[in-house]
Amino acid sequence: MEELNIWLVGGGLAVGAIFGFLAQHHRFCMVAATGNFLLIKDNRQLLAFIAALLAAIIGTQLLEFTNTVAIADSSYRNSQLDWFGASFGGLIFGIGAVIAGGCATRTLVRSAEGNLSSIIVLLFFMLLAASAQFGFLETLRLDLTHSTAIDLTGDASIATILGLPQWLPAIVAVILLAGYIIKNWNPDAKAMVVGGLVIGGLVVCGWYITGVLAQDEFDPARPSAITVSGPLARFGYILLSAKIPALSFSISFVIGIFVTVLLVALATGRFKFEAPKTASIKFAVLGGSLMGTGAILA
């Protein structure tokens, strides 16, 4: 039996619990943030997401610049630029999220609150994500990657691709993000922006836990950040194969989100089974399927 890494499991649960509480409390959702900004000019959630990006970029780059965590060793920075998978997969995911009525995190939160439409979305998200990652769509996905990805001489960081100093893109990104927040500040967004900064900090915590605290000199592993789609694919794999993988940071992270949201919903009376309208079921199935496929392709 594989030995349990307490830092990966405990750290994932703790980070997931904080993330889930904030996501539930502030109703964080990229679809809502984009829609609210474009349709009713409400930029509160958008500012929160930008704040999260700002904190995550600053913290992550500091971990790399100080050689605290080997960020370049992560799977996100391998030697291939999968431009087609990232763009087409992202497009499919975005379309699916709009059809389903929420992003992956928001779907997970609403499912834990008893929304049956979101549960349907989540189920098909997991099944199609598992199929794309491990099942009948895996070969097609890998063929697309092999035929379109560009092999790089170094890792897939922006600085390496453009031949720039590693610090330069980070500085530019920080200036642009901070400048946007300052220029478009909304006093009503203060609490949500603080929540966004904390979520960005949780990204940094994920890197530090997986890249430092959980590292075993006899069994080194790649560091990773927080993610929802990959673990949901693992849960879909459990449903399809009845095989339970070992607990990891990312799987524990998703469990932490779901359990925390469920407990808060039960304690506050927010938990309620909401049956979907018959006409909306097809959108839940289609949206979840597109999200799961697009997430893994990307």
21 part of a folded domain: yes
Does 64 fall in a domain?
Answer: yes
Q: Is 275 exposed, middle or buried (0-12, 13-18, 19+ CB in 10 A)?
A: exposed
Note whether residue 99 is domain-resident.
yes
Query: Comparing C-alpha atoms, which of 96, 126, 119 is closest to residue 271?
Result: 119
Longest dimension (CA), the chain: 55
The answer as to whether 146 is a domain residue is yes
Among candidates 296, 297, 298, which has minimal Cα distance to 236? 296
- Cα–Cα distance, 151 to 82 (Å, whole number): 9
Q: Is residue 102 part of a domain?
A: yes
CA–CA distance, 284 with 126 (Å, rounded to integer) = 13
Task: From 87, 52, 83, 80, select the one nearest 206 (Cα to Cα).
Answer: 52
Residue 223 structural domain: 6-297
Residue 121: inside a domain: yes
Which H helix or E strand runs over 298? none
Instruction: Dump the DSSP string for 184-205.
Output: T--GGGHHHHHHHHHHHHHHHH
The total domain count for the chain is 1
SS (H, E, C) 228-287: CHHHHHHHHHHHHHCCCCCCCHHHHHHHHHHHHHHHHHHHHCCCCCECCCHHHHHHHHHH
For the chain, strand residue ranges (E) read 80-81, 150-151
CA 112 to chain centroid, in Å, comes to 17
- Over its C-alpha atoms, the chain yields an Rg (Å, rounded) of 19
pLDDT for 2 equals 56
Rounded to 10 degrees, what is the CA torsion of 232, 111, 50, 80?
Answer: 10
| pLDDT at position 1 | 44
Contact 215, 66 (CB under 8 A): no
Cβ atoms of 228 and 129 within 8 Å: the answer is no
- The answer to whether the CB of 100 falls within 8 A of the CB of 240 is no
Q: Does residue 206 form part of some domain?
A: yes
d(CA 267, CA 264): 5
* Dihedral angle of Cα 239, 243, 248, 251, to the nearest 10 degrees: 10
Return the structure tokens found at 190: 């203060």
The list of the chain residues with pLDDT below 50 reads 1
Q: Which residues pair with 115 in a beta bridge?
A: 274
For residue 1, tell me if it sits in a domain: no
